[in-house]
Amino acid sequence: MSPPGALAVGIDVGGTRVKAGLVDPGGTVVATSGRWTPGRRTGPADVEAVIVDVARELAAHPLAAGQDVCAIGVGAAGFVDAGRGTVVFAPHLSWRDEPLQDRLRERLGRPVLVDNDAHAAAWAEHRFGAGVGESHLVVLTLGTGIGGAILTNGELQRGRHGLAGEFGHQQMVPGGRRCECGNRGCWEQYASGSVLRREGQEIVRTGGPHAAALSAACGGDAALLEGVHLTRAARAGDPASREVMVEVGRWLGTGLAGVVAALDPGTVVVGGGVSEAGDLLLDPARAALARHLVGRGHRPVPQVLAARLGVDAGLVGAADLARRAAANSPERSASPTLP
């Protein structure tokens, strides 16, 4: 049985970046690593190789010297059967019914736990971040797409098939923008990092004085502009970038009104890379939520908070879940029953 105080590696596999960290039992990231996520045209083995590479790098980190890394947790962007550690479907990656947990455990020789990235991030915010003490919590992760998770009385709610929380693929606009999942009008096509990139690139392509800040950020090449450039420009006061942020925030709040109507959480925590915009994004989201929520004026509106752990939430949660599963029993680490 692994000691509960041991270090663990947490890895957050997103559509754009693979972020990894060496995490102590208090949720503190003591060392980090990262890679670009291989593109969708590459095979599952390419993504797996990146995960193995960063896991080995952190397990051999000088800060881990003298103590064994007890487990490795992976939060994957996609539909994950956590009981089997299988990525059933990943809209932004090439995984289809991929037995990722077994493959990684075989290659790394340590207990491995694979879960949905938003579930991992939500667990971290519940244990160490903005959701501490909240009995009914919804966590959204805004990255390339929108992930989500639900916690009730300290337990992750996975649904009958373990796929609950895929809020990003609820339909917002019938016949709207095509989504990577194959449908049209999904929420994440209107409120995500992909939207920031798309809108920012369009601003650069159209040109004009209003495009100056974003053009400077990408050297005039719209194809090089990323959502993070627009976020930074908005925080620096660029009017065009702030206009996009307000629009994305309104879509975020409109979608949240449906989530809140269905689940009645006390708190909504918004994390992921897009959330680094802070109140530039969350203020219009709060206003749209209050405006569109059914029963408004006659019911509490949940607080909407920025994730306290920032972009590290997914890897912190994955490490903590893996540590807990490994500490329970060696047998369970192969096919864990998660909290």
The DSSP result for 179-215, as a single string, is -TTS-BSBGGGTSSHHHHHHHHHHHHHH-SGGGHHHH
Among 244, 241, 234, 119, residue whose Cα is nearest residue 190: 244
Q: Which domain holds residue 242?
A: 134-307
Confidence (pLDDT) at 339? 41
Residue at 128 is within a domain: no
Q: Are residues 107 and 184 in the same domain?
A: no
Which contiguous run of DSSP H or E holds residue 118?
helix 117-128
Nearest 5°: phi and psi at 79? Answer: -85, 115
In whole angstroms, what is the distance from residue 54 CA to residue 144 CA? 21
Among 79, 90, 96, residue whose Cα is nearest residue 164: 79
In whole angstroms, what is the distance from residue 326 CA to residue 70 CA? 7
Q: Are residues 138 and 241 in the same domain?
A: yes
Place of tokens 């060392």: 31
Q: Are residues 53 and 89 in the same domain?
A: yes
Q: Are residues 282 and 229 in the same domain?
A: yes
Burial of 164 (0-12, 13-18, 19+ CB in 10 A): middle
Strands 267-271 and 303-306: parallel
34-43 long-range CB contacts below 8 Å, 24 or more apart? Answer: 37/13, 37/93, 40/92, 40/93, 40/94, 41/94, 42/94, 43/94
Residue at 98 is within a domain: yes
Among 243, 266, 155, residue whose Cα is nearest residue 196: 243
Furthest CA-CA distance within the chain: 63
Instruction: Please check whether residue 167 is in contact with residue 187, taking contact to mean a CB–CB distance below 8 angstroms.
Output: yes
Residue at 155 is within a domain: yes
Residue at 1 is within a domain: no
Q: Are residues 59 and 164 in the same domain?
A: no
Residue at 179 is within a domain: yes
In whole angstroms, what is the distance from residue 83 CA to residue 71 CA? 17
- Helices 44-59 and 100-108: angle between axes, nearest 10 degrees: 40
278: left (phi over 0), alpha (psi -120 to 50) or beta: left
Check which CATH number belongs to the domain holding 231 and give it. Answer: 3.30.420.40
Residue at 127 is within a domain: no
**Tokens in use for 59?**
């397990």
Q: Are residues 148 and 289 in the same domain?
A: yes
**Tokens in use for 279?**
């109140």
Residue at 143 is within a domain: yes
Which contiguous run of DSSP H or E holds residue 18?
strand 17-23
What pTM value is reported for the model? Answer: 0.84
Confidence (pLDDT) at 77? 83
Strands 146-152 and 303-306: unpaired
Tell me how many degrees the CA angle 285-290-294 measures, rounded to the nearest 5: 125
Question: What does the pLDDT profile of the chain (339 residues) look like in tens digits?
Answer: 444 458 999 999 987 889 999 999 999 999 999 998 887 667 788 899 999 999 999 999 988 877 779 999 999 988 888 888 899 888 777 788 899 999 999 999 999 999 998 899 999 999 999 999 999 999 998 988 898 999 999 899 988 877 888 899 999 999 999 998 899 999 999 999 999 999 999 999 999 999 999 999 999 999 999 999 999 999 999 999 999 999 999 999 999 999 999 999 999 999 988 888 999 999 999 999 999 999 998 999 999 999 999 889 999 999 999 999 998 855 543 434 334
Q: Are residues 97 and 197 in the same domain?
A: no
Please tell me the total count of domains within the chain.
Answer: 2
Q: Are residues 154 and 34 in the same domain?
A: no
Q: Are residues 142 and 191 in the same domain?
A: yes
Instruction: Please check whether residue 317 is in contact with residue 75, taking contact to mean a CB–CB distance below 8 angstroms.
Output: yes
**Residue 66 to residues 6, 22, 243, 319, Cα–Cα distance (Å):** 11, 14, 52, 19
Q: Are residues 157 and 211 in the same domain?
A: yes
Q: Are residues 80 and 183 in the same domain?
A: no
Q: Are residues 196 and 327 in the same domain?
A: no
The dihedral through the CA atoms of 44, 49, 55, 58 has a sign that is: negative
Residue at 36 is within a domain: yes
